[in-house]
Structure 1
Amino acid sequence: MGKNKKKAKRIAEAEHELVGSVAAAAEHKPVALLGAASEIADQPPLVALSVATIAAGLILRRRDITRTGARMLLAHALATGGKTILKRSIDRSRPARALLDGEAKVGAGKGADDTEFNSFPSGHTAGAVSVAEAVARTAPRLAWPARSGAAAVAAVQLPRGAHYPTDVAIGAVIGWTAERLAGAIIDAAERGFNRVREQRLESTALALAEAHPS
């Protein structure tokens, strides 16, 4: 176990040596503005967007839009759960903090709420990818803008000093996996709903036939 911790620390230090200095760009105004814009991928905005999509579908009586919103919401919830488990399991200083301390810290998670030491994985990336993939899978015409937006959110995490490349990569994997799982759950639920509806229709038709024999 000790060897694994030392290996993880060496990898973290090597990554910081390689790309940690990129976080110095966080002080530049364009990066700061892009970083602020990327907050749209924080949990509350993505949940609000998903709920708004569901509401729009219900109001317009568009099942496809409602389904997209439901898939977005479920995918985001699963991605949030996945990234939270990892954040609580691994403490890692964010690039900006590592530059300040002069040391890239990483170790077993202690459940600390200090956001400067929960760099791994990138929650913004996980959330953005999960929602973007849900949109792309259910509304192919919006696939390019959705995925491009998620990619932009992921990319800006490095210069803004919030995450390392591995944080972003694992966040993307979490988001992608969460969306696929959400899709499987929703598809299964729809199949079950359709079977129940068909059975009810058949029962109703049979009851009518018995009540009014020809």
Structure 2
Amino acid sequence: MNQNEADMGKGKTAAKTAAKADRDVTHEAARRDDGPVLRAAGKLTELADQPPLIALSAGTILVGLLSRRRPIARTGSRMLASHLLATAVKTVLKSSIDRTRPARALKHGYHAGKGDGADDPSLNSFPSGHTAGAVAVAEAIAAGHGRAAIPARLAAAGVAALQPSRGKHYVSDVLAGAVIGLAAERLSRAVLDRVEAAVERRLTPSAPRS
């Protein structure tokens, strides 16, 4: 066995160890009785589902337009763009990868593998769509309104933290969702910044030549 094969073997062993730890930690959290407070908080995380976040983004745009406050409307537009991009990415991944949700795995066993595109919610554990959407929207809010950054990010962190204990997602699903949300916000912001700059250049009159 050469050095490369030895390194690959060590890498596979480390990956298996990490995957097992991910499952063990999540299953332990899902088995634990959270109590009424955490159960109520868990239900509130459903506000990070797609319809509520789209409604929040659209409502922010509407408030900005009606109050003629461009920064608010601009933030709402970026919230919506970030959320839609994060949702698109997680949807592709969910249809490409089958992974049993923790709650089902505890009762019927764990399965992970290549997805067949079937829309079975119990096999759509990876990645966490709630986390992806919540992080994308929170980051858009933080970028547009610095004072709201802390509460927005805390809300997103709360959504993410409660997914394993609710038996909805593994820790790795949550981490993947957070990465998707961050990337979606950064990419959509970069694109919209360029679009806005291009529009402003076209609308700004050219200085007269002397």
Shorter chain as normaliser: what TM range? 0.7 to 0.9
Q: Does residue 1:22 correspond to 2:29, yes or no?
A: yes
The list of structure 1 runs, each at least 4 consecutive aligned residues, that deviate by more than 6 angstroms after superposition, is 5-10
Q: Does residue 1:51 correspond to 2:58, yes or no?
A: yes
Q: CA offset at residue 114 of structure 1? A: 1.2
Q: Decide which of 38, 42, 61 is 1:35's aligned counterpart.
A: 42
Give CA deviations for 1:186-209 in whole Å, capped at 9, x if unaligned.
Answer: 1011101101101xx349x89xxx
Q: Decide which of 102, 113, 122 is 1:95's aligned counterpart.
A: 102
Give CA deviations for 1:18-49 in whole Å, capped at 9, x if unaligned.
Answer: 33121123674333312210001000000000
Q: Does residue 1:170 correspond to 2:176, yes or no?
A: yes
Relative to the length of structure 1, the TM-score reads 0.86
Q: 1-side partners of 2:127 and 2:118: how far apart? A: 15
Q: Percent identity?
A: 51
Is the radius of gyration larger for structure 1 or structure 2? 1
SS across alignment from 1:160: coil
Relative to the length of structure 2, the TM-score reads 0.87
Give CA deviations for 1:87-113 in whole Å, capped at 9, x if unaligned.
Answer: 111100011100011x22100011121
Contact 1:26 1:160 in 2 (8 A): no
SS across alignment from 1:158: coil
Unaligned runs of 5+ in 1: 207-214
CA RMSD, Structure 1 to Structure 2 (Å): 2.4
Contact 1:9 1:106 in 2 (8 A): no
Matches within 5 A, 1:126-141: 126-141=132-147
Q: 2-side partners of 1:26 and 1:46: how far apart? A: 28
Q: Which residue of 1 aligns with 2:200?
A: 194
Unaligned runs of 5+ in 2: 1-8
More moved, 29-38 vs 177-186: 29-38
Contact 2:34 2:165 in 1 (8 A): no
Q: CA offset at residue 64 of structure 1? A: 0.5
Q: 1-side partners of 2:36 and 2:87: how far apart? A: 29
